[in-house]
Structure 1
Amino acid sequence: MEASKSASLPAVVQISEVYTEPYCMITILSLYLYFVTKAGPQFMEVRKAYELKWLILAHNLFQVVSCVYVIKEILFITDNSILYFWKCRDIGSSPEHVRRYYSLAFFIFWLKLSELLETVIFVLRKKQNQVSKLHVFHHLSTVTLIYMLINHNGNGDAAYFSVFLNSIVHVFMYSYYFLAAVADKKLVQALWPVKKSITVMQMTQFALILVQLVCQIVLCTTPLYHTIYFTAVIVGMFYGFFDFYNSAYQVSQRCKNLSPSPEVGK
């Protein structure tokens, strides 16, 4: 895989290579973890919550546009055959193909780092209850998975399948977040089923990724240790979102069903 890198990669990609070194990635993630779990809450303890509405809107819009770009690039890189996830693929040999493969990989790495801003916004708005273990684990692990995509990918273009699905889900998710940030309370309440459906989409993507992983293990040559780590992360995220779905939607629905109707009290 490393031998496939072109010496003529753009300067921005060569610069990005420095920031995807393990020590740099670990430093960024460590600072993120320290801020959102300790330094941030302590800083906000004696301060009023920040509104940050325009930052939230800009962040959500940026994520939607970026994910659309990622989807478009993946379709180009894989010759529109990304959905044939069971096929074994390399990253191609043409300079243009290799260049766009790594350019996209580095772009996604920076995109995943930008998603860490989400948690920072929660902290600055005093929404510490939203800084859940699942939320933090999700953001930390996705950065490490993209690091593996850049430096230790043994599955070629097929490795972009998980990114492709995730980008589709994020287009819907961040569009919902954008709308929820500008809509009134009645509209947000009316959109509640959409939020539930997005969680189902997230669980479905993890299930499909695991199916692809099995196909790649059986039909292709996959690095053992990287496969074990990738599997552990995806299984962990699937379980986390499934648990969140049950606690946030199923339990509340059961409580709603058990509560007396208005007519009973009359």
Structure 2
Amino acid sequence: MTPTPSASRPPACPPPPLTTPPEAPPNTDYLDELLRRGKWTLLVLAVCYVYGDVTVARPLKPDPRQDQWLLMASPLPTLAISVLYVALSTYWGPRYMANRGPVTGLRPYMMAYNAFQVVFCAYIFWEAGMGGWFGSYSFVCQRCDYSNNPMAVRMLHAGYWYLVSKFLDFIDTLFFVLNKKTEHISLLHVCHHAMMPVCIWYGIKHHSGGHTTLTFLLNSLVHVVMYLYYMLAAMGPRVRPYLWWKKYLTKLQMVQFSTVIVQNFLVLLVDCNIPSVLLVWTSGVSFLFFFLFTDFYIKEYRRKSKTQASTRRERLSGLRSVMEGAASLSPDLRGLTLTSPAAEVTQLVTVRSRAAL
């Protein structure tokens, strides 16, 4: 047989090039949701500014003791910083990070920041207490002292540092953005952070002591506990099993707002010369945050607990069905019962082993 010349053979077809399917574009629906939250926050912020400028700044005289202090000459710088915060946390920041991975190496900075906030908020709480609430102040009616009395000046400084602390609170949202944990940048979170500096500015500028200072006494105490939680959570998975008390932190915040509302109501029962516009404002803000925190608590804990309980019931029901089916095949399995949830795995292994026999 004459071999066929190699030249007469048809050339082999090259294998098709390996191609990878195109990557799916990242889901950016959350960006629209963040933008919507930012718009609502700016609306609430505008209402706060107008209310403060019309109903607080015009009828009440400013406190002259703080005229030369940073940010206290006008509310506009504080308003501008709050607006910039909303834009960075709900628009510019998330869009910049949309096609990037989470920033690594932030844990030491987060721990240092939270540790500083614990100490700083504890200092404000102590100063507000020593400025009156640990001694001479009345829970029912406490007028503002505009003199240079050392106690009054101490309360004035505590209120100013409390205002500064609200700007430092913005940094925790920055960590959320850099870590791409946008689910934590809720309407409650952004609205609470953005509103507080503007609301506090008018209170400190026009009524820097007395009845309404209970707000920052309680809030500073709550923030000590809150930033302690954040600091422990930043330590990593080995600590998180011990942070079961997170939901009680939300309850503590709700108690804080309830206390302020009750305190403002008690003023109506006595003859007390405290500006009603401030009482309405602090009560309104407390009602708003009480509602938002209650809504958050129900969604985060109550509904999640019900969902987990329902899932567990379905799992147990399915396991019982497996046991009943296996018992119908083997009389030896009819005595098996699911005595406790902790026995799930043991019982399932027993069922499968006996069924195999």
Asked if these proteins are the same fold (TM beyond 0.5), I'd say yes
The answer to which of 203-212 and 96-105 deviates more is 96-105
In structure 2, relative to structure 1, the CA distance for the partners of 1:184 and 1:83 (3 Å cut) is farther
Deviations 1:69-119 (A, max 9, x none): 111111211061377411323226344234323222221111111101111
1:180 counterpart residue number: 233
Matches within 5 A, 1:227-266: 227-260=279-312, 264=317, 265=319, 266=348
In structure 2, relative to structure 1, the CA distance for the partners of 1:110 and 1:82 (3 Å cut) is farther
2:218 counterpart residue number: 165
What is the one-letter code of the residue matched to 1:170?
H
What is the one-letter code of the residue matched to 1:105?
G
What is the one-letter code of the residue matched to 1:204?
V
TM-score normalized by the length of structure 1: 0.87
Alignment partner of 1:36 is 2:36: no
What is the one-letter code of the residue matched to 2:262?
V
Deviations 1:223-260 (A, max 9, x none): 33333332221111000100110111011111222233
In structure 2, relative to structure 1, the CA distance for the partners of 1:82 and 1:138 (3 Å cut) is farther
Determine the C-alpha separation between the residues in 2 that align with 1:89 and 1:58: 38
In structure 2, relative to structure 1, the CA distance for the partners of 1:208 and 1:227 (3 Å cut) is same
2:355 counterpart residue number: none
In structure 2, relative to structure 1, the CA distance for the partners of 1:33 and 1:114 (3 Å cut) is same
**Once the 2 structures are TM-superposed, how far is the Cα of residue 160 of structure 1 from its aligned partner?**
1.5
Determine the C-alpha separation between the residues in 1 that align with 2:73 and 2:268: 26
Question: Per the alignment, in what secondary structure is the counterpart of residue 68 of structure 2?
Answer: helix
**Once the 2 structures are TM-superposed, how far is the Cα of residue 23 of structure 1 from its aligned partner?**
1.1
CA RMSD across the alignment: 2.3
Determine the C-alpha separation between the residues in 2 that align with 1:147 and 1:178: 28
In structure 2, relative to structure 1, the CA distance for the partners of 1:3 and 1:21 (3 Å cut) is closer
**Once the 2 structures are TM-superposed, how far is the Cα of residue 145 of structure 1 from its aligned partner?**
2.5
2:202 counterpart residue number: 148
Higher relative contact order (CA 8 A, sep 6+): 1
The answer to which of 89-98 and 244-253 deviates more is 89-98
2:108 counterpart residue number: 54
Matches within 5 A, 1:67-106: 67-78=121-132, 80-81=134-135, 84-91=138-145, 93-106=147-160
User: Is contact 2:62-2:205 (8 Å) kept?
Assistant: no
1:200 counterpart residue number: 251
Question: Structure 1: where are the runs of 5+ without partners?
Answer: none
**Once the 2 structures are TM-superposed, how far is the Cα of residue 20 of structure 1 from its aligned partner?**
6.0
In structure 2, relative to structure 1, the CA distance for the partners of 1:82 and 1:158 (3 Å cut) is farther
In structure 2, relative to structure 1, the CA distance for the partners of 1:60 and 1:72 (3 Å cut) is same
Alignment partner of 1:15 is 2:94: no
Determine the C-alpha separation between the residues in 2 that align with 1:83 and 1:172: 24
Question: Structure 2: where are the runs of 5+ without partners?
Answer: 1-59, 320-347, 349-357
What is the one-letter code of the residue matched to 1:54?
P
User: Is contact 1:70-1:164 (8 Å) kept?
Assistant: yes
Count of residue correspondences:
257
Question: % of aligned pairs identical?
Answer: 29
Matches within 5 A, 1:218-233: 218-219=269-270, 220-233=272-285
User: Is contact 1:141-1:233 (8 Å) kept?
Assistant: no
Higher helix share: 1
In structure 2, relative to structure 1, the CA distance for the partners of 1:82 and 1:211 (3 Å cut) is farther
Determine the C-alpha separation between the residues in 1 that align with 2:202 and 2:269: 20
User: Is contact 1:88-1:216 (8 Å) kept?
Assistant: no
Among 111, 129, 138, the residue aligned to 2:183: 129
TM-score normalized by the length of structure 2: 0.66
What is the one-letter code of the residue matched to 1:55?
Y
2:353 counterpart residue number: none
Alignment partner of 1:191 is 2:243: yes
In structure 2, relative to structure 1, the CA distance for the partners of 1:33 and 1:82 (3 Å cut) is farther
**Once the 2 structures are TM-superposed, how far is the Cα of residue 2 of structure 1 from its aligned partner?**
4.9
User: Is contact 1:5-1:98 (8 Å) kept?
Assistant: no
